[in-house]
Amino acid sequence: FEKIYRDEDVDLSVLDGRTVAIIGYGSQGRAQSMNMRESGVNIIVGAGDRTRHSSWDKAEADGFEVFSIEEAVDKADIVHILLQDPAQPSVYYESIHKHLKPGQTLSFAHGFAILYGTIKPPKDVDVVLFVPNGPGPVTRQKFKDGSGIWGCVSVDQDVSGHAKETALAISKAVGSTRVGVVDMTFQHETEGDNYEEQVLYGGTIHLMRTMFNIMVKNGYPRSFAYAKAIRSIRSIIDDIDAVGIEAYLTSRASRTCEFAVRHSGPRVINEQAMEEIFEETERGVFARNWLQEFSLGMPTLNRMRRTWADSDMEKTGKIWRDKFGK
């Protein structure tokens, strides 16, 4: 089995005396800054122009020293880029690239820009990756609860000879080695993440939507269809995570449920489509489509947002939440 790094394997003191500049203060930026600060790391934040970007005020309100991105890069030993992915290349070439100095570490939370070459760092800096496998607010909450969210680290350039130690120390400061950190390549981190988003997130959400629509079309009350399509999944996932699939099916689910799962479940899955999506992801088709969508101002996303927000299922969900809470 691959090495899984835990707290006892990682030396946080490699960050002593070094300043980490967090570039971008969104979902990950806020959570990682706060966790690292509480782990004793010296954090500053680099934010875009105050008149156009709310990050500056948010980071300052949380008690961080905030600088322009250029200044933060000048002051930092480690430049940790937590900007949204498609915006990274333009911000990088405008405000980061020419301020990087030999010996600094450039760090990412997703391998997209490096894998697809939209960012090409200078050859004299370390380039590393640390990804906590979950949204910022969860990363923050777990840390506050004394736990963490599992993650992965990777090294693309190791000029100092200590790039891996730096990436692992960041992962420890964010809390991930409390539960486990694995080694990954930039390629597998990026493609695996994009595959998960398409198949697991995309598949699950479309499964819920389709199930709701079919039940309502066939006369079921909306509230019942909504509860079946969305609410049940929580207990299933938590149970499976706690005991594993087989134990869940044989000891927690009913015999009818076990038979239904084994008998009909495979028919719901389109394995050929899953293989095709995997292959397209490896060929960079997904990345190209996403970069093109972003550069056009996200027309497809904006249109889908409007129609989905207006759907019967969303309206039912709102009524559920208003009446019964989360």
* Piece of 18-26, 152-160, 163-171, 285-293 that binds ligand NDP (CB under 6 A): 18-26
Rounded Cα distance between 171 and 149, Å, is 10
Compute the C-alpha angle 104/105/108, nearest 5°.
Answer: 150
**CA distance readout (Å), 254 to 38, 241, 259:** 45, 18, 9
Q: Enumerate residues 95-124 that contact ligand NDP by CB under 6 A.
A: 109-110
CB of 109 to ligand NDP, least distance (A): 4
Task: State the DSSP H helix or E strand holding residue 132, giving kind and residue range, or none if neither.
Answer: strand 126-132
CB of 265 to ligand NDP, least distance (A): 28
Per-residue binding string, ligand NDP, 120-139, x by CB under 6 A, is: -----------xx--xx---
CB of 60 to ligand NDP, least distance (A): 12
Residue number with CB closer to ligand NDP (52 or 267):
52
- Could you say which of 53, 110, 162, 188 is catalytic? 110
Q: Which residues partner with 181 through β-bridges?
A: 5, 151
Q: Would you count residue 202 as binding ligand NDP (CB under 6 A)?
A: no
Per-residue binding string, ligand NDP, 59-98, x by CB under 6 A, is: -----------------------xxxx-x---x-------
Residue number with CB closer to ligand NDP (111 or 277):
111
Token code pair at residue 142: 């777990």
Rounded Cα distance between 106 and 240, Å, is 38
Per-residue binding string, ligand NDP, 20-49, x by CB under 6 A, is: ----xxxxxx------------------x-
CB of 83 to ligand NDP, least distance (A): 4
* Piece of 50-58, 164-172, 194-202, 293-301 that binds ligand NDP (CB under 6 A): 50-58
Residue number with CB closer to ligand NDP (54 or 289):
54
Token code pair at residue 241: 């995570």
Token code pair at residue 55: 């990050």
Q: Is 110 assigned a catalytic role?
A: yes
Task: State the DSSP H helix or E strand holding residue 21, giving kind and residue range, or none if neither.
Answer: strand 19-23
Residue number with CB closer to ligand NDP (61 or 254):
61
Per-residue binding string, ligand NDP, 281-300, x by CB under 6 A, is: --------------------
Asked whether 11 and 165 are in contact (CB, 8 A), the reply is: yes
Residue number with CB closer to ligand NDP (198 or 213):
198
Task: State the DSSP H helix or E strand holding residue 206, giving kind and residue range, or none if neither.
Answer: helix 202-217
Determine how many CB atoms are found less than 10 A away from the CB of residue 142: 22
CB of 323 to ligand NDP, least distance (A): 29
Asked whether 113 and 91 are in contact (CB, 8 A), the reply is: no
At 30, the amino acid letter reads R
- Nearest position to ligand NDP, beta carbon: 26
Compute the C-alpha angle 257/263/266, nearest 5°.
Answer: 110
Residue given tokens 């990050």 in the structure block: 55
Among 4, 9, 54, 235, binds ligand NDP (CB under 6 A): 54
Rounded Cα distance between 219 and 64, Å, is 55
Rounded Cα distance between 286 and 306, Å, is 23
Q: Which residues partner with 307 through β-bridges?
A: none
Residue number with CB closer to ligand NDP (10 or 110):
110
Q: Which residues are catalytic?
A: 110
Report the interface residues with ligand NDP, using CB under 6 A. Answer: 24-29, 48, 53-55, 82-85, 87, 91, 109-110, 131-132, 135-136
